[in-house]
Amino acid sequence: MEEALLRIREIRKNFGGLRAVDGVSLDVAAGSTTGLVGPNGSGKTTLFNIVFGIHKADKGSVYFNDESISHLAPHEVYARGLVNAFQLPRLFYRLTVLDNMLLAARGHKGDSFVNSLALRQEWQEQEMKLADKAMELLELLELDHLSLHPAAELSGGQRKLLEIGRALVSEPTLLLLDEPAAGINPNLGRRIFEKIETFRQKGLSFFIIEHRVEILLEFAHWIYVMDKGKIAVEGKPEEIVNNPTFYQVYFGEA
């Protein structure tokens, strides 16, 4: 693999008597789309939550851009350019699609009470630039025609696209996506991955949990297969589909 942007080392996490993550170590290369697959209950989302600071690991370390982020809160991880788009979109449903995008941008000069008074012209100019940027992203995501509609009016697939757009407007270095193609028709799922590839070619990196393995296999550069809290096998997509362990994990037999 190329140079690691995210390094996870010997992560363990227990919930009561259940060990959800059991000594996981893995790397996500800069400029890559890295996949994480496995059956329900294998610990994938728990691992993502540990990376993003929602849960604290019982043991092990997480490094992002060669900095330990194991001790950081989610907003501190977010500020460093590691952004999480949740499996169930966490949108402000009464606000417009455009407002949802604007709220997700980092570094608002008007967030400070002092700046909102003393730097009024600067933050107003920044807001205009952010609105232009948000509209450009919405156009790429085919949501620009809904920019002034409440988020509550979006379909399930459109809500997932908006969740991804909210993550992208923050200009992340690495984006964690938890099942971006889940619960939507296969054609839209594939289009979402095509858009992910477009952004990857522009310099973003992606770490993706996905149950629709057939779509992920088309776009990922490296895949980890997780089972019972551990990494069972890893490799390039063509290596994974030819590895008996992959089928043992999913179907119980080679």
Answer yes or no: are the C-beta atoms of 31 and 46 closer than 8 Å: no
Please name the fold of domain 1-81+172-254: Rossmann fold (3.40.50)
Q: Is the pLDDT of residue 134 over 60?
A: yes
- Domain residue spans of the chain: 1-81+172-254, 98-169
Instruction: Supply the pTM of this predicted model.
Output: 0.84
Percent above pLDDT 90 for the chain: 61
- CB atoms under 10 Å from CB of 165, counted, come to 21
- Write the DSSP assignment of 123-170 as a string of letters: HHHHHHHHHHHHHHHHHHTT-GGGTTSBGGGS-HHHHHHHHHHHHHHT
Arithmetic mean of pLDDT over the chain:
88
Tell me the pLDDT tens digit for each residue of 169-212. Answer: 888 999 999 988 877 788 888 888 998 999 999 999 999 999 88
